[in-house]
Structure 1
Amino acid sequence: MKKLNFLILFLLAGTVSFAQTWSLDKAHSNLGFSVSHLMVSEVDGSFKNFDAKITSSKEDFTDAVIDFTAEVASISTDNEQRDGHLKGADFFDAQKFEKITFKSKSIKKLDAKKYKVIGDLTMHGVTKQVELDVTFGGTAVHPYNKKTIAGFKVGGIIKRSDFGVGASTSSAVVGDEVTLNAKTEFAKD
């Protein structure tokens, strides 16, 4: 009987995969955005303080759960006056709404490197479902720390009006559509 129980456990262990956690390598990642200004140009910005984790048991990340957080007060457009305005009550209201969060709900693999990720984005106290395009750069072993790393590019378009950000500012001044773009590297824990 003991041999049979051991055999069953051994066979089950071969079919069960265990989730792996991947942590963001902040030194090799960035989170940016761009938005139109006066309908003729684009202004770029970024969030300097952000973090993310991926939990996945599959090598191709098709079962991944992605958790992301950015500190609103870390917004930067390389213009101190504009950054102060964006942090204020007219836009993000960083004192009241300190974080932007994203939690994935589903991932669809389109081809070897392309994915659609659907999840809940919370910003300015409003949660909306968004769809993001993800390009998987692959995995490698870091030559110095010997950890397995993975790279991803993430992009998408959201409407600031959906989240009440800059509600009193005309889209002719600051565009309603905001293009998100992130380049990230994760290390397997």
Structure 2
Amino acid sequence: MKKVTMIAAVSISAFLLAFKTIAPTTWTVDKAHAKLGFSITHLMVSDVEGSFKSFDATITAPGDDFNNATVDFTADANSISTDNDARDKHIKGDSFLDVAKFPTLTFKSTSFKKVSGNNYKVVGNLTLHGVTKTISLDAIARTGMNPMSKKAVAGFKLTGVIKRSDFNIGASFPSGVLSDEVTLDANAEFGQK
């Protein structure tokens, strides 16, 4: 009986040691190769595009791909730019983003699931203009190696749509003037920490 117990214990130990533990990997955004953009339709005929110039993001991946990863993102609302100073001042004012009262927007993922290949669905909580709502984004992830630094890099393209009415933004502007839907479009390169 002791021999059988010993053999079982050794077998179980060998089995458990055969599995390699993968430590979580943290990726930080390369701000020189990243853009957080958006577009909104004006007067139902043209799209106005903009971006946030100051932001930070990290992704923590628990395995060898990004399935079940977590994303933490922050942006300075005052850094919004549409390449028009008068419009930017208006957007930063209290009828839109009210950056004096709500200086930061954040996104924290609650789910990061592989759909197929390099395609993922990212769900999380966006806090904008003092309101937190769950949003869903489509993501395409690509990985590679930086030939200069010899370090791993990852690129993400994220797209999604939010409604400004969900965040109480620009309530005095009807959808005939500005669309309620705002399209998000982000491209970002990340490096392993």
Do these two structures clear the TM 0.5 threshold for a shared fold by scoring above it? yes
**2:151 corresponds to which residue?**
147
Question: Pairwise mapping of residues 70-89 of structure 1 onto structure 2 (< 5 A)?
Answer: 70-89=75-94
Deviation at residue 154 of structure 1 after TM alignment: 0.2
- 2:168 is equivalent to residue 164 of structure 1: yes
State the Cα RMSD in Å. Answer: 1.9
2:139 aligned counterpart, secondary structure: strand
1:30 aligned counterpart, secondary structure: strand
**Distance (whole Å) between structure 1 residues aligned to residue 101 and residue 120 of structure 2:** 34
Change beyond 3 A, Cα 1:15–1:46: same
What residue identity is the alignment partner of 1:163? F
What residue identity is the alignment partner of 2:180? D
Deviation at residue 175 of structure 1 after TM alignment: 1.0
Instruction: Compare CA radii of gyration and give the structure with the larger one.
Output: 2
Deviation at residue 10 of structure 1 after TM alignment: 9.6
Change beyond 3 A, Cα 1:98–1:111: same
Deviation at residue 58 of structure 1 after TM alignment: 1.5
- 2:43 is equivalent to residue 53 of structure 1: no
- 2:112 is equivalent to residue 123 of structure 1: no
Question: Which of 174, 189, 192 is the matching residue for 1:185?
Answer: 189
Q: TM-score, normalised by structure 2?
A: 0.90
**2:71 corresponds to which residue?**
66
Give the gaps of 5 or more residues in structure 1: none
**2:105 corresponds to which residue?**
100
**Distance (whole Å) between structure 1 residues aligned to residue 167 and residue 96 of structure 2:** 10
Contact 2:164 2:182 in 1 (8 A): yes
Flag as ranges the 4+ runs of structure 1 deviating above 4 A: 7-10
Question: Pairwise mapping of residues 131-142 of structure 1 onto structure 2 (< 5 A)?
Answer: 131-136=136-141, 138-142=142-146
Q: Which moves more between the two structures, 68-77 or 163-172?
A: 163-172
Q: Percent identity?
A: 54
What residue identity is the alignment partner of 1:88? G
Task: Figure out how many residues of one structure are paired with residues of the other and give that number.
Answer: 185
Give the gaps of 5 or more residues in structure 2: 1-8
Deviation at residue 12 of structure 1 after TM alignment: 4.9
**Distance (whole Å) between structure 2 residues aligned to residue 9 and residue 87 of structure 1:** 61
What residue identity is the alignment partner of 2:170? G
Change beyond 3 A, Cα 1:105–1:9: farther
Q: TM-score, normalised by structure 1?
A: 0.92
